[in-house]
Amino acid sequence: MYKAKAWSVASATSPFVSRRIDRRDPTEHDVQIEILFCGICHSDLHQARNEWSGMMPTVYPCVPGHEIVGRVARVGSAVTRFKPGDLAAVGCMVDSDGTCPECQAGFEQFCPNFVLTYNFPDKHLGGVTYGGYSDSIVVNDRFVLRVPASLDLAGAAPLLCAGITTYSPMRHWGVTRGKKVGVVGLGGLGHMAVKFAHTLGAHVVVFTGSPQKKEDALRLGADEVVISSDSNAMQKHAGSLDFILDAVAAGHDINAYIQLLGRDGNIVMVGAPETPLPISVFGLLFRRRSFSGSIIGGIAETQEMLDFCAQHNITSDVEVIPIQKVDEAYERLARSDVKYRFSIDMASLRSE
């Protein structure tokens, strides 16, 4: 066991403070990573503030962070895919049973025994897992990803959650050229969804509640932008979309988007609002529409996504911040004011 530096919260209302945490020495299948950048996901904010108290209550102190890139520092004796000095990345999961049908099929995110990167029982040290707002992490090698060398590291970190969470449903539901795709909510996930849908050749319509984001949406790859409070502009797309990805972090009127879908159209929720969303069933009956959800992606698909990003030169648009600004970043995230992901430069934690 060794001590790592981390940034943690002690309660739902406390500011972040510096803290030393225990990390295990790498066992034979582990990789110890010196963290260089960690993205700030809205899930970090939900969890740190215990907004998901019903589904996933927060255990304090909490060290969030599941968009991790860094360099391998040490490897266990059985690790063959990584060596010290390699670039490496970790997303939302750090373990799973590896034997269940979901794991066997490459869907570790559906494994009943998976372990999330933070706020999950830690079978090695007891207590809960601690995430990437830290200078170091130790992870089973099955959950360590290769980072293509061409990617900017600060912008690559958010791919580990925002990237895979939007890439996976788009591949699953067949976003391709000739499809009309909606993206609701232009935040960390939403802006990655726009980049992927555009690169996959779809006609992309962004729905945003923030009129000032219109120019950015077009620059990111949107073909059209609709301000969601403009009901006439919304109506123009009624019954016309093949697929909608909804990445809104708070309660909102989902029915306004369901009616925009054409025959057999599907709207997938990736946003995780703390409150239930009322659904008008009639909106689904007409045109045989469906409403679905999706959570991150499997490890092989995450590697595929990173390689796709290298091939198409895709990274997240980031505001790089020192760790001392995380509280301020959370305030801005809560106001939908980030362009379009905060990425923490972990050098700022090393100098604490």
- Residue 134 binds which entry of ligand NAP, Zn ion, none, CB below 5-8 Å type-dependent: none
Binding stretches for Zn ion (CB under 5 A): 41, 43, 161
In the complex, the smallest distance separating the C-beta of residue 131 from ligand NAP, rounded to whole angstroms, is 13
Q: How far is the CB of 272 from Zn ion (least distance, A)?
A: 9
* Nearer CB in complex with ligand NAP: 21/326: 326
225 is a site residue for ligand NAP (CB under 6 A): no
Q: Tell me how far apart the alpha carbons of residues 246 and 269 are, in angstroms, rounded to a whole number.
A: 5
Distances (CA, A) of 184 to 89, 170, 290, 308: 28, 14, 16, 23
Q: How many residues bind ligand NAP (CB under 6 A)?
A: 31
What is d(CA 254, CA 281) in angstroms, rounded to the nearest whole number? 11
Stretch that binds ligand NAP, among 13-21, 206-214, 301-309, 324-332 (CB under 6 A): 206-214
CB of 110 to ligand NAP, least distance (A): 12
Q: In the set 62, 296, 326, 346, which binds ligand NAP (CB under 6 A)?
A: 296
Report helix, strand or coil for 341: strand
By beta-carbon proximity to ligand NAP, the closer residue of 5 and 213 is 213
186 near ligand NAP, rule: CB under 6 A: yes
Minimal distance, residue 171 CB to ligand NAP, in Å: 14
The only residue of 248, 267, 314, 349 in contact with ligand NAP, by rule CB under 6 A: 248
Task: State the nearest-atom distance from the C-beta of 158 to Zn ion, in Å.
Answer: 9
* CB-CB contact of 25 with 79 (8 Å): no
Q: Please identify which residue in the block is written with the tokens 């200078």.
A: 135
Q: What residue type is 95 in one-letter code? A: D
CB of 92 to ligand NAP, least distance (A): 7
153 contacts ligand NAP (rule: CB under 6 A): no
CB of 190 to ligand NAP, least distance (A): 6
- Under rule CB under 6 A, residue 185 binds ligand NAP: yes
Neighbours of 25 (CB within 10 A): 12
Neighbouring-strand partners of residue 319? 342
d(C-alpha 161, C-alpha 297), whole Å: 9
Residue closer to Zn ion by CB (options 43, 129) is 43
Q: Is 188 in the site for ligand NAP (CB under 6 A)?
A: yes
Exposed e or buried b for every residue in 80-103, given b needs 16+ CB within 10 A?
eebeeebbbbbbbbbbbeeebebb
- The verdict on 247 binding ligand NAP (CB under 6 A) reads yes
Peptide bond into 211 cis (omega under 30): no
Look at residue 343 and give its three-state secondary structure: strand
Place of tokens 């699953």: 172
The one-letter amino acid code at 58 reads T
- Non-local (6+) Cβ contacts of 208 within 8 A are 185, 186, 190, 214, 217, 225, 226, 227, 228
Please tell me whether residue 159 binds ligand NAP under the rule CB under 6 A: no
Residues in touch with ligand NAP (CB under 6 A): 41-43, 46, 161-162, 165, 185-190, 208-210, 213, 247-250, 252, 270-272, 294-296, 333, 336, 338
